[in-house]
Amino acid sequence: MAKKTYKEKLHSNQDKLPEIKEITQEKLLAKTGPGKMVIPSALELDGLMRSVPKGSVITTAQMRNHMNEKYGAVYTCPLVTGIFTRIAACAAEEEIETGEGIGYAWWRTLKPKGELNEKYPGGIERQAAELIKEGHRIVQKGKKMFVEDYESALHHI
């Protein structure tokens, strides 16, 4: 069986996601209190990533807050959000490489607190280079890299 492309991964399980359910896990209840949690859709996250204009950035924390507001939830799974934003970034890069779409500037999507994502295509070096081209300043803190003053460049969704 052939390995799935990122575009195929992006579109898989769309009939089941997003999934909104009551929080029942004791550990999570202690952290968030009672309410609903969202398992987001990769395509919905992809749409948010595509909406970010040049010169702006978005964080996965913003995306999760958007999902909470949209679905009346108190928690959106950060692990699934991270996995799906990586798939979306790789699918966008795949579109560019294969010529089967226009792709988009996935590098504008940051981890919480403005951190660059080492799991995106080309790693943090590629993401940093693309963000610098758009006028952002990158700072290194230990092994991690961040967009300096990212808050002033946040795209409001």
Residue range 141-152, pLDDT digits in tens: 999 999 999 999
pLDDT of 2 strictly over 90:
no
> pLDDT (tens digit, 9 = 90+) per residue, 33-85?
999 999 999 999 999 999 999 999 999 999 999 999 999 999 999 999 999 99
In a domain, 143, yes or no: yes
Q: For residue 119, what are the domain limits?
A: 6-153
In a domain, 82, yes or no: yes
Number of domains composing the chain: 1
In a domain, 51, yes or no: yes
Arithmetic mean of pLDDT, 116-135: 97
pLDDT value of residue 37:
97
In a domain, 29, yes or no: yes
Can you list the alpha helix ranges (DSSP code H) found in 1-152?
6-11, 26-32, 42-50, 60-71, 78-98, 123-133
Q: How far is CA 111 from CA 11, 26, 27, 40, 102, in A?
A: 23, 27, 24, 16, 24
Confidence (pTM) = 0.93
pLDDT of 1 strictly over 80:
no
CATH code assigned at 131: 1.10.10.10
In a domain, 128, yes or no: yes
* Residue whose entry in the numeric block shows the structure tokens 């940093």: 128
> pLDDT (tens digit, 9 = 90+) per residue, 77-116?
999 999 999 999 999 999 988 888 888 999 999 999 999 9
CA–CA separation, 118 and 137 (whole Å): 17
In a domain, 1, yes or no: no
pLDDT value of residue 102:
83
